Amino acid sequence: MPGDDADFTGQMATVTGWGRVKYNGGIPSLLQEVQVPVMKNADCQDLFLKGGHSKRILESFLCAGYATGEKDSCEGDSGGPLMMERPDGRWQLVGTVSHGIRCAAPYLPGVYMRTTFFKPWLHSITGV
């Protein structure tokens, strides 16, 4: 699990899921995978405002995606992993697909639950 002070801004993360392949699109028969850049929450908030949405980006959130849209998680991916490969080749869970508006739409990046924010709770449940 990432360290408490981990900052993933600007790094590429991988999200996987069985959700729709595009907004209102079909359900895939194979697990989907996409790489998206992690952004600062303040930048994410600005993008949502620019996109005409007053969505509040909380400290417990982590945003990933492109300002122009392009790639994103989608409907049905909720609960899936947002992960990064560590230098030692092991993978770490940095977020969990939470929500978004549409899929891969300009100014509307994907919103994930930030794993490090919930570390105390995860530790209390799993002991890890």
Three-state secondary-structure class, residue 30: coil
- Token representation of residue 102: 């549409």
* Distance between CA atoms of residues 7 and 46, nearest Å: 19
Burial of 112 (0-12, 13-18, 19+ CB in 10 A): buried
pLDDT tens-place string over residues 30-69: 999 999 999 999 999 999 999 999 889 999 999 999 999 9
pLDDT tens-place string over residues 83-107: 999 999 999 999 999 998 999 999 9
pTM, two decimal places: 0.91
Which domains are present in the chain?
12-126 (2.40.10.10)
